Every structure is written in structure tokens, then in C-alpha cells.
């Protein structure tokens, strides 16, 4: 076996140009796969952070049956916001923050224009403890980050840009909110637009507005009440565990839903992104493996007489098979390791520098920080090795099946 290995290494050095070309393909292909994995991880993390730290929180608590009737924004299925429920939730291991919200709907008007709206009332202080990125969703008319909702202006309002354009209003204008109260009557209050909000989906741009919790409680007659409690956890990895502990602590009166149930379109977007980039990575690896197969096959055709000579001198067919497979594995080892090193270096550099990305409409510029796991690196190397073996089997087998006499006669 030592002799066959030595011959394989000698052949790789003897055909340096072909070896370098094949290795270059491996280096580029593996490096691109590593980069795509790092980019996918960073983009998925950005989407998760936006969903959890800007919109839905880690999980939410509602009265039992609320989610089944959520499109009707049922105010009667409310929870207490007097601190009792919040205290219970904060006692659950893993919970780092709790904030109340009210979801409601009604009619918003200004002058002779009016439109239906879907509103969210947030606590002007604790909201930013649970969803810290929410403060960066407020933008001015030029798309620059603006003043978020806060306790200093109780009747402030954030509005979707398309909804504002439909009402012919802008930042600084007043609008009137007309709603049905918890008691069943009608009530109206004026609010002042302090900023636009970056849309998370087309519906929020066309119908969304945000007000402070005290303002909504006065408007809806829901003092001391909310429709949901939004909860933050220590990390994304403990969300399911913490949500399960919250269910046990709260009992059947309440229902607990993680962000995946609250914003299912975000989960779908993550799955689609992972699927698409997975296909791209697979295609790249197939191209690389095909290149290796082509190289080995060319080597077989070019060295027919050499193979015939070795077989005539007594080298067995299995040794011929092993020779070509070892040559392919040698190229794979050097190319894959170099590709992994190059890909990791690029990923680490981009992680250190960050890739700036701005959401549509302007606002805060986020930085993507690519990263890859050691498990993925090991898996990529294993796939490259396995693919190389599979790619080299047919050409190597073809070489091992040559008849010595016919091989010696070949030109």
C-alpha cells in the first residue's frame, strides 16, 4: 500500500498543471460553499433578531382562545396589566423581560379622508426592554431613524407610510382614532403623528399604526388591561424550554405561543432561504465533483500504456484501482483544506468588518456578521471526500479493467 501511495503522490507532482487546475476548482468551490453557509447563518440571524427583538418577542401570552379569534381583535379576551401576571412570568427561569400590548382596530381619519387601521399599543418603557430593535423602526420623512414612542408624549403615534399617504397626512399632523370600546360603545381620541414606521410586511404599511399603551387604554376603556404579554428570553436557544415552563406556571387559563406561531411568515422565509442556498451549495459541490471525475478519467485515457506496463510487471487490478482513487483523494485533501481555510478566512474578515444592509425605506443600517460552525466545516470536508471517492470510482475501475496486452498496444 505504501508503494501505491508513493506512486499516487509522484503522479500528482508529475502532472502539476492538471493537479493545480483541479485543486483550484476544489478550492474555489469549497470556499464559496463555506461563504454561502456563513452568509446564510448571518442573514437568518438578522431575520430572527428582527422578528424576536423588533416584532413578536420570544413568545407571547394570551387568554385561552385569543389566537383563534385574533383577526377579530377581541378585546374581551384580555389579560391583566396591573403587574400580577408580569410578576408570575418574570419568575419563570429564562425570562428576562415582559411587556404588555393591546391589539385593536378601528377607523382613522383626518379632514375628509378616513381608513380602517390595525393598531398596536406598546408600553413606552418596557417595550424596548423586550424588543430593543423596535425603537429603530421609527423613521422621518427621509427614511432616517427618528424619535420612537416614549413616555414624554403620551398621544404620539407611529403610522405606516402608505396609510399616511392615503390620508394625506405627514409627521406633525393630527389624526382621529375612532374605535369600539371594551364596553361596546364608541370612543374617539386625537393623536399626533411623530414618525413613520418601517414596514415588516405589506399589510403593516397599508393599515398599521402604533400608539402608547396608556393612550390605548383610555381610548378603549381598558385601564389595567392588555390583550397580550410579550416576553423576552435569555437567548433564542431557550425559547421553547422557557415557553413550556411558562405554560406550566400559568395553567389552562392562558395560552403561550412562540414567535414561530406569531409571525409564521418569518419562519417560512428562513426555511426558503436555507433551502435555496442549500440547493446552490449542492450544485457547486456537484460541479466540483464532476471536475474531479473528469480529471481522473482524462488521466486514465492518457496513461493507458503506463497502466498496461504496471499490470504486465505484476501490479494487481485492485492496486491500479487504489492508485487512481488515492490520486483523486490527494487532490481533494489539498484542495478541500485550502478551500476551507480560504472560506473561513473570508468569513472571519467579513464577520470582523460586517456587511452593511439597509431595509427597504431606509432607517437603521444593520450589519451582517457571517459565521460558520466547526461541525459544518467538518461536514463539508467529509462531503468533499465522499464525493471525490464516488467520482473517482468509475474512472479507477475502468483503469483496473484494462487488459495488459491491449493497454501496451495503445498509442
Tell me the average pLDDT of the chain.
Answer: 82
More confident residue, 242 or 278: 242
Range with lowest mean pLDDT among 11-15, 252-256, 285-289, 406-410? 406-410
Q: Is 151 helix (H, G, I), strand (E, B) or coil?
A: coil
Residue 368, beta-bridge partner list: 355
**What tens digit of pLDDT does each residue of 135-164 get?**
888 888 777 777 788 888 888 999 988 899
The C-alpha cell 483541479 sits at 22
Task: Specify the DSSP element, H or E, that contains 189.
Answer: strand 186-197
Residue 49 pLDDT exceeds 90 = no
Please state at what angle helix 317-353 crosses helix 16-50, rounded to 10 degrees. Answer: 40
> Do 109 and 175 contact (CB within 8 A), yes or no?
yes
Average of per-residue pLDDT across 320-348: 82
Cα distances from 343 to residues 27, 28, 216, 292, in angstroms, run: 9, 9, 52, 20
Share of the chain above pLDDT 90, in %: 29
Rounded Cα–Cα distance for residues 117 and 160 (Å):
10
Predicted confidence (pLDDT) per residue in 168-209, tens digit: 999 889 999 999 999 889 999 999 999 988 776 666 778 889
Cβ-proximal residues to 262 (8 Å cutoff; 6+ apart), any chain: 55, 56, 57, 59, 60
* C-alpha distances out from residue 199 to 60, 342, 370, 376, Å: 21, 38, 25, 34
Which band of pLDDT confidence, cut at 50, 70 and 90, is reported for residue 361?
very low
Contact criterion met (CB below 8 Å) for 86 and 130: no
Residue 299 has what pLDDT?
67
On the question of pLDDT at 212 being above 90, the answer is yes
* Separation CA 152–CA 146 (nearest Å): 15
The whole-number pLDDT of residue 319 equals 73
CB neighbours of 14 closer than 8 A, spacing ≥ 6? none
The pLDDT value recorded for residue 396 is: 66
> Residue length, the chain?
411
Predicted structure pTM score: 0.77
Amino acid at each position: 500500500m505504501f508503494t501505491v501511495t508513493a506512486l499516487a503522490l509522484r503522479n500528482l507532482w508529475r502532472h502539476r498543471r492538471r493537479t493545480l487546475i483541479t485543486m483550484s476548482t476544489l478550492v474555489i468551490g469549497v470556499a464559496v460553499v463555506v461563504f454561502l453557509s456563513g452568509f446564510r447563518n448571518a442573514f437568518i440571524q438578522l431575520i430572527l433578531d428582527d422578528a424576536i427583538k423588533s416584532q413578536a418577542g420570544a413568545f407571547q401570552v394570551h387568554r385561552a382562545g385569543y389566537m383563534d379569534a385574533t383577526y377579530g381583535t377581541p378585546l374581551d379576551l384580555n389579560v391583566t396589566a396591573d403587574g400580577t401576571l408580569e410578576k408570575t412570568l418574570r419568575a419563570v427561569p429564562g425570562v428576562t423581560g415582559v411587556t404588555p400590548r393591546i391589539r385593536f382596530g378601528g377607523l382613522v381619519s383626518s379632514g375628509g379622508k378616513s381608513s380602517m387601521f390595525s393598531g398596536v399599543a406598546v408600553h413606552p418603557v418596557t417595550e424596548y426592554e423586550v424588543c430593543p430593535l423596535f425603537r429603530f423602526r421609527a423613521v422621518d420623512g427621509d427614511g432616517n431613524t427618528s424619535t420612537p414612542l416614549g413616555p414624554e408624549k403620551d398621544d404620539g403615534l407611529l403610522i405606516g407610510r402608505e396609510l399616511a399617504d392615503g390620508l394625506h397626512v405627514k409627521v406633525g399632523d393630527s389624526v382621529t382614532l375612532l374605535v369600539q370600546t371594551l364596553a361596546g360603545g364608541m370612543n374617539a381620541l386625537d393623536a399626533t403623528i411623530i414618525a413613520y414606521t418601517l414596514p415588516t410586511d405589506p399589510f403593516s404599511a397599508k393599515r398599521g399604526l402604533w400608539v402608547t399603551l396608556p393612550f390605548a387604554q383610555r381610548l378603549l376603556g381598558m385601564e389595567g388591561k392588555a390583550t397580550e404579554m410579550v416576553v423576552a428570553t435569555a437567548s433564542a436557544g431557550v425559547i421553547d424550554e422557557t415557553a413550556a415552563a411558562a405554560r406550566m406556571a400559568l395553567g389552562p387559563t392562558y395560552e403561550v405561543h412562540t414567535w414561530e406561531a406569531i409571525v409564521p411568515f418569518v419562519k417560512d422565509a428562513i426555511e426558503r432561504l436555507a433551502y435555496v442556498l442549500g440547493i446552490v451549495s449542492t450544485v457547486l459541490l456537484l460541479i466540483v465533483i464532476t471536475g474531479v471525475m473528469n480529471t481522473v478519467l482524462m488521466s486514465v485515457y492518457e496513461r493507458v500504456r503506463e497502466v498496461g506496463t504496471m499490470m504486465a510487471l505484476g501490479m494487481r487490478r485492485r492496486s491500479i484501482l487504489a492508485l487512481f482513487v488515492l490520486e483523486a483523494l490527494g487532490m481533494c485533501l489539498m484542495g478541500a483544506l485550502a478551500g476551507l481555510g480560504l472560506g473561513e478566512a473570508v468569513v472571519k474578515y467579513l464577520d470582523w468588518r460586517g456587511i452593511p444592509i439597509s431595509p427597504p425605506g431606509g432607517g437603521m443600517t444593520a450589519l451582517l456578521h457571517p459565521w460558520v460552525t466547526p461541525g459544518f466545516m467538518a461536514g463539508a470536508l467529509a462531503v468533499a471526500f465522499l464525493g471525490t471517492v464516488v467520482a473517482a470510482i468509475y474512472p479507477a475501475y475502468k483503469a483496473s479493467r484494462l487488459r495488459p496486452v491491449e493497454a501496451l498496444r495503445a498509442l
